[in-house]
Amino acid sequence: MRLDVRGLTFDVYAGGPADGEPVLLLHGFPQHSGEWSAVLPALHAAGLRSYALDQRGYSPGARPLAVEDYRMAECVADAAAVLDALGVPAAHVVGHDWGAMVAWQLAARQPDRVRTLTAVSVPHPAAFAHAINTDPGQKARSAYISLFRRPGKAESVLLALNAAALRRMLAGVGRDRVDDYAEPMRDRETLTAALNWYRAMSRRDLAGCGPVGVPTSYVWSDGDVAIGRTAATACAAQVAGDYRFVALRGVSHWIPDEAPAALAEVILDRVGGR
């Protein structure tokens, strides 16, 4: 379905029983709502209603041009507006990568909209900021962000030689999925919109995110090249509500693609309060 909110048009993919408890799923870079395809069957079988959103910059009808249009406050407002348009007062929220960043911020800023939170790969923004400021290892892991924030240069590097760098970055999603994610990004305008999330990021967005009080599970994997253990373990201090930390062994950053069954189990445990 397509939803017109905030002057933009978002693509939202609904599934599962129409009367099921709602789950809003938020994807990361450089993917799209399809990253949840292997996770959703288990959620639907459990009676949940899913709404997988192609976020700002990824939905063709929601692709503003200015970098400031991709500030975190705008992305969080999109998620809340989509829930409004769906007639959903509050949802279980699941986010991966940048989607996790939006989910953390939504839970901190508008806790009445979030029944439970399952954040995947990326920890609470303040935990991430703490790790970057104190852990040389996390600084090294995050060095790629400097490139992604350089307009034009990042696009050229990622798209060179048939998008070789972009495809290498996606190692772990599975060979059959690399094209699915990389192909839309080969359109330079689409890639620029996706990279604008990095370019609009500020230290204030990270360190200024308050604690989360909703029931929360954070899923991290020890093979994640972008997020180290310091950031992952610092997450607990930023959650005031019931909190579970799940560490998957031998799994890369691309948890929804690489370990969908394990992730679905974590989501269902959180949603069902098991």
Distances (CA, A) of 96 to 25, 65, 117, 155, 233: 8, 24, 11, 22, 17
Amino acid present at 87? G
What pLDDT is attached to residue 240?
A: 95
Mean pLDDT calculated for residue range 254-267: 98
What pLDDT is attached to residue 175?
A: 82
Separation CA 216–CA 122 (nearest Å): 13
Mean pLDDT of the chain: 96
Residue 274, pLDDT > 80, answer no
Q: What residues contact 133, with CB distance under 8 A and at least 6 apart?
A: none
* pLDDT tens string 163-221: 999 999 998 898 889 999 999 999 999 999 999 999 999 888 887 899 999 999 999 99
Number of residues assigned to the chain: 274
137-146 long-range contacts, CB within 8 A, separation 24+: 137/228, 137/230, 138/227, 138/228, 138/230, 138/231, 141/225, 141/226, 141/227, 141/228, 142/226, 144/226, 145/198, 145/201
The CATH number covering residue 91 comes to 3.40.50.1820
Separation CA 164–CA 244 (nearest Å): 37
Mean pLDDT calculated for residue range 5-10: 98
Mean pLDDT calculated for residue range 68-83: 97
Mean pLDDT calculated for residue range 231-246: 96
What pLDDT is attached to residue 242?
A: 96
Residues 255 and 96: beta-carbon distance below 8 Å: yes
Q: What residues contact 274, with CB distance under 8 A and at least 6 apart?
A: 268
What pLDDT is attached to residue 248?
A: 98
What pLDDT is attached to residue 171?
A: 87
User: Could you say which DSSP state residue 66 is in?
Assistant: S
What pLDDT is attached to residue 38?
A: 97
* pLDDT tens string 16-48: 999 999 999 999 999 999 999 999 999 999 999
* pLDDT tens string 105-133: 999 999 999 999 999 999 999 999 999 99
Quick one: which of 260, 273, 221, 238 has its CA closest to 25? Answer: 260
Q: Which two tokens stand for residue 232?
A: 């992952």
Strand ranges in the chain using DSSP code E only, listed in sequence order: 2-5, 8-15, 22-26, 49-53, 91-96, 114-120, 216-221, 243-248
273 pLDDT band, cuts 50/70/90, is: low
Containing domain of residue 229, as a range? 2-272
What pLDDT is attached to residue 176?
A: 84
Give the chain's domain count: 1
Residues 241 and 68: beta-carbon distance below 8 Å: no
With pLDDT > 90 as the criterion, what percentage of the chain qualifies? 93
